[in-house]
Structure 1
Amino acid sequence: MANYGVLILSHCGFSFAEDLIATIKSRGLQAFVLSSLPLPEHGEARLEKLRGLAQAVLSSDSHVLNIEDVERAIAVLQASGRSIRACISVWEGYRALMAHANQRLGVGDLPSQRIDFLRDKFAVRGELYRTGLSRVASRIVTPEVLEALKREGGRYFIKPARGIASYGAFRLTAETTWERLDAIAQHAQEDTVYQSALGEDVTFVAEDFLEGAEFSFEVLASKGAVHVVGLHEKCELTEANGTVLEDSCTSPPASIAASDIAAGLDWLRAVFAQLQLDWGCFHVEARFDGARWDLIEINPRVGGSLISQSVKALNGEAGMLELWLAVLLEQADGAQYAGLSSMLGRLAYKDDGAAPTSLATFFRVYFAAPGQIESIEVRTDGRRPVVEQILLKAGDVVEDTPRESFLGQLLWRMTRDERDASLNDLLVESASAIDVRYRTPSLALETQS
């Protein structure tokens, strides 16, 4: 299988590229990377680093990939004698391109049109509302609609219709103005990294505010079967700088019973059936108010931060990246992946809501405030994390933008009993586990429980 490999679509040279390359190589395959042009601060050095890791690295002359770039990369690789088994991308803005490539390669995936539909939060909410799978109404925001919602005095959540990474998502308040929305949209147009994912015309939607605790289902769909191999409860949410940040998660959920999880699994399968989601990997965000589940959004990709590593820490076998890749490769080499269906069934939550193992994880994501970093280090007096990732360094400058700026992330693993006994302590102790100091003043975060 010397010339067999997987094509990675990388945004500006990143998008979990190192993780994907390592996962592909662990399968005995070559990694082929197609990247859009890296940002000036990374430039050719970033592509050189990828060339040292992957067997082939191609790049475009634009910061955003398009169908022509993908077609050209497939042609170049095949002309050089390489066989592409599948295409994968964790950058949501390229998910439809990935589907297009897989269709060209004869690999089962969602149609690109279905992915475009999923990324339209207004359209998805409308279909689920009409079919009774969501109680939340949604409307396109105009200056007139915004003022009407403020006069009504209800609870609403504002977000881009085609959003990514919580960009410009926040609760409506009496102080929310059309000028604020217009400023976020303008900033999106100027944001090289996020502009293509948000679209050229940033439209906002207002949704009835969902009550309850927030969770994420980590889902793999293969041959029409839906497997939930992870379920994370979001322990803390922070509202800061025009967006909502997810600070910490634990899995399995700590605040709900197995019967509640079972109801969530039933609801999720009904949603997937209604939306015809029978292939792929999904990060589904939802809320549970103690009686009913409802959707926040469906992301047709692996969850961000440490979601994939958390799933692997829980089952001891494979993370989301590895499992998604296996679902794609199963079609090219059915004999090698003959046991995948039974493996997914074994690693998934049972119909009665039982978790697949007795282990638990807790992870915290740390976000940077605007300013220049003077120093940064990990400080833990008690239990050491099993995964440590520091993403910034001294001297880095964090811009003031309406999107999350990642500082680092830590993950702890323990038995579920240990987690249940120590979760409150973990929440407090982990909050200061990454010590960061700024040379210039930074904005304080306003934590919302």
Structure 2
Amino acid sequence: MRALLLVRRGAPLTAALVDVIRKKGFEPVVLSSLPADGGTKFRAMCAGLDVRCVVSAGVAVTSEEVMATVRDIEDCAFAITMADSQRTVMAEANGLLGAHDVTPGALRHALDKHLMRKRLFELGLSRLRPLRVADPELRRRIEAGEQYVVKPRRGVASLCVGLVRTWSDVEALQAVYERGPGDGDMMAEYFTDNELIAEGFCDGREVSFEVIRQDGHDRVSVDHEKTLLDFADGTVLERGLASPVVGITADELDAARGVADEAMDALGLDNGCYHVELRIDQTGRPEVIEINPRVGGALVWDSVRLQYDRSLIDDWIDVLAGKPVAPMAPRKCGTYMQLAFPVVGKQVTGIDQNPDLPEPEVYGESIAPGAVALANREFFGADALWTTELATHRDQVARLVAEEYCLFAYARGLTGKPVLLALEPDASTWNAIAAAPEDVDVVVCHQERIEATDEYRAARDRIGRLVAVPSWDSPDALASVLESCDGAPIRDILGPRTTHVVADQVRNAMQAPA
């Protein structure tokens, strides 16, 4: 039997998902929305995995493309995705295949945050009034002192989500959203056929549930409390999660789980995997914030695996295939997760680990040297997950909450000094950069991914700017190198022989009359 795996823009998660599906006894066919490079790297990755792949024509997979792919797969049992934006077309495919999924209409109401809020508000399951940003009532209420959260109707990773207290806050978010996506932006599809909306703000402690539903019953339900939550730079950053909860009572947790189930029932979400977020106000009353019809992000899957020795994706596949979901075993440990976000607008040169904290069970870095964090969204830098003893869980979490495990290092920036230019540094070049005098700014231009070798780490703090060059053979390589120096004079050029042509071009440009 086969299965259709839908991924967004050649997602790096593809390899892991292919492995999971194969271990469940199905051979995947992968359909990806169009990656920034047109699919070259994605196709090469799939060739290495020996898996059949298809690339869509645009940055969003269309219903027609999904249906055409499904009809071309012999003995296809189900479709699956981890991406919100592909969840509706996944359900359309599963409707054709006869897999156990919810209706596309139910998902449209869950994924459209305005329709979801409106439905829950009408049924008395939410107290947060939904309004469109264009509605004059919103401005009247904000100017009367009410607080609202503004967000896109469809969105992920806290894209353009902000707590607004004044109308100028709303206008600032509108301006960012109307600028649209940047070049190669992974969020590009959320700037099309979409709009900003608003809903009342519920202040309180936040909890989420990872839920596997089958025939309207919760077969799996795992709680995580968000211990650190920041509203900043036009987004919301979830920086710490504890499981089990540490600041929420058993009664409050039961009430939140009950409200989550009521909301899913009301929206017709009776089969599948859901990440449900709620806030509990000062009176102990829970309020649904969002319902995401897929596995929670970051290291949530790992957290559930470590606590219960089970895979949410495996469970979801069992639901889709019509197989019984295994009952939950007792929790064997707790977990604490830290999510690290670099400072917006600053170029990252590396990530260090806090030696005063214990080594995590799971650790991963999401960005490479040279990355610059974008505003108005979650821009993950790294995440870490620890296991805890259930008997001392609260104390261990308190210790981990108090300090950051990931410590970002940033490029110095250019100051107008003469530039020491390094092209595709090797070990000897990094050693020379480490010994560079303070009267120069160091600019590093590279084509290959920079590896955090010992030589690089020794030179890292001297870097003023890192610049990625698409190819040294490109006719644009010289212009990229010269532009990277911001017009400052170039004192010297370092680099291996593979870049000598560009180095000579730079020297010639330096000697040419103005």
**TM-score, normalised by the number of residues in structure 1:** 0.86
Quickly say closer, same or farther: Cα 1:439–1:43, change in 2 above 3 A.
farther
> Among 53, 73, 91, which residue is 1:77 paired with?
73
How big is each residue's C-alpha offset from its partner over 1:315-352, in whole Å with a ceiling of 9 and x where there is no partner? Answer: 02x122222122212x2xxxxx4xx34x24x25xxxxx
Root mean square deviation of aligned Cα? 2.1
Quickly say closer, same or farther: Cα 1:193–1:86, change in 2 above 3 A.
same
The 8 Å contact of residues 307 and 320 in structure 1, kept in 2 or not, is answered as no
How big is each residue's C-alpha offset from its partner over 1:4-39, in whole Å with a ceiling of 9 and x where there is no partner? Answer: 222110111007322211211222322221112211
Q: Secondary structure at the match of 2:168?
A: coil
Q: Which position in structure 1 is the counterpart of 2:481?
A: none
The amino acid that maps onto 1:256 is I
The 8 Å contact of residues 164 and 170 in structure 2, kept in 1 or not, is answered as no
Quickly say closer, same or farther: Cα 1:232–1:293, change in 2 above 3 A.
same
> Among 102, 112, 127, which residue is 2:94 paired with?
102
Between the aligned partners of 2:70 and 2:254, the Cα distance in structure 1 is 43
How big is each residue's C-alpha offset from its partner over 1:394-438, in whole Å with a ceiling of 9 and x where there is no partner? Answer: 2x2225332111111110012222221222211123x1x222211
Q: Which position in structure 1 is the counterpart of 2:177?
A: 185
> Among 258, 273, 290, which residue is 1:297 paired with?
290
The 8 Å contact of residues 33 and 57 in structure 1, kept in 2 or not, is answered as yes
> Among 375, 400, 408, which residue is 1:401 paired with?
375
**Is residue 351 of structure 2 the alignment partner of residue 376 of structure 1?**
yes
The 8 Å contact of residues 189 and 200 in structure 1, kept in 2 or not, is answered as no
Give 1:221 deviation, angstroms. Answer: 0.9
How big is each residue's C-alpha offset from its partner over 1:106-162, in whole Å with a ceiling of 9 and x where there is no partner? Answer: 102111111111112122112212222112212111274453233211222221222
Give 1:364 deviation, angstroms. Answer: 0.8
How big is each residue's C-alpha offset from its partner over 1:33-53, in whole Å with a ceiling of 9 and x where there is no partner? Answer: 11122113x841232113212
Between the aligned partners of 1:100 and 1:180, the Cα distance in structure 2 is 37
The amino acid that maps onto 2:154 is R
Between the aligned partners of 1:54 and 1:304, the Cα distance in structure 2 is 27
Q: Which position in structure 2 is the counterpart of 1:423?
A: 397
Between the aligned partners of 2:51 and 2:197, the Cα distance in structure 1 is 43
Q: Which position in structure 1 is the counterpart of 2:242?
A: 250
The 8 Å contact of residues 146 and 165 in structure 2, kept in 1 or not, is answered as no
> Among 272, 275, 279, which residue is 1:280 paired with?
272
Quickly say closer, same or farther: Cα 1:427–1:372, change in 2 above 3 A.
same
Give 1:297 deviation, angstroms. Answer: 0.9
The amino acid that maps onto 1:267 is V
Within 5 A, what are the aligned runs for 1:190-269? Answer: 192-196=185-189, 198=190, 200-269=192-261
Structure 1: runs of 5+ lacking an equivalent: 332-336, 348-355, 442-449
Q: Which position in structure 2 is the counterpart of 1:392?
A: 367
Q: Secondary structure at the match of 1:255?
A: coil
Between the aligned partners of 1:160 and 1:181, the Cα distance in structure 2 is 10
> Among 13, 17, 22, which residue is 2:10 paired with?
13
Quickly say closer, same or farther: Cα 1:62–1:127, change in 2 above 3 A.
closer
Q: Which position in structure 1 is the counterpart of 2:301?
A: 308
Give 1:66 deviation, angstroms. Answer: 0.7
**Is residue 19 of structure 2 the alignment partner of residue 35 of structure 1?**
no
The amino acid that maps onto 1:95 is R
Give 1:266 deviation, angstroms. Answer: 2.1
The amino acid that maps onto 1:283 is H
**Is residue 339 of structure 2 the alignment partner of residue 365 of structure 1?**
yes
Between the aligned partners of 1:200 and 1:60, the Cα distance in structure 2 is 17
Aligned residue pairs: how many?
410
Quickly say closer, same or farther: Cα 1:172–1:374, change in 2 above 3 A.
same
Q: Secondary structure at the match of 1:398?
A: coil
Give 1:175 deviation, angstroms. Answer: 6.4
> Among 120, 123, 130, which residue is 2:122 paired with?
130
The 8 Å contact of residues 9 and 34 in structure 2, kept in 1 or not, is answered as yes
Between the aligned partners of 1:68 and 1:126, the Cα distance in structure 2 is 29
Q: Which position in structure 1 is the counterpart of 2:22?
A: 25
**Is residue 38 of structure 2 the alignment partner of residue 64 of structure 1?**
no
Q: Secondary structure at the match of 2:349?
A: strand
The amino acid that maps onto 1:57 is C
Between the aligned partners of 2:82 and 2:155, the Cα distance in structure 1 is 15
The 8 Å contact of residues 249 and 362 in structure 1, kept in 2 or not, is answered as yes
Within 5 A, what are the aligned runs for 1:310-389? Answer: 310-316=303-309, 318-329=310-321, 331=322, 337=323, 340-341=324-325, 343-344=326-327, 346-347=328-329, 356-369=330-343, 370-389=345-364
Quickly say closer, same or farther: Cα 1:179–1:382, change in 2 above 3 A.
closer
Quickly say closer, same or farther: Cα 1:139–1:146, change in 2 above 3 A.
closer
Q: Secondary structure at the match of 1:406?
A: coil
The amino acid that maps onto 1:438 is Y
Structure 1 stretches of at least 4 aligned residues deviating more than 3 Å after TM superposition = 143-147, 187-192, 377-382
The amino acid that maps onto 2:298 is S
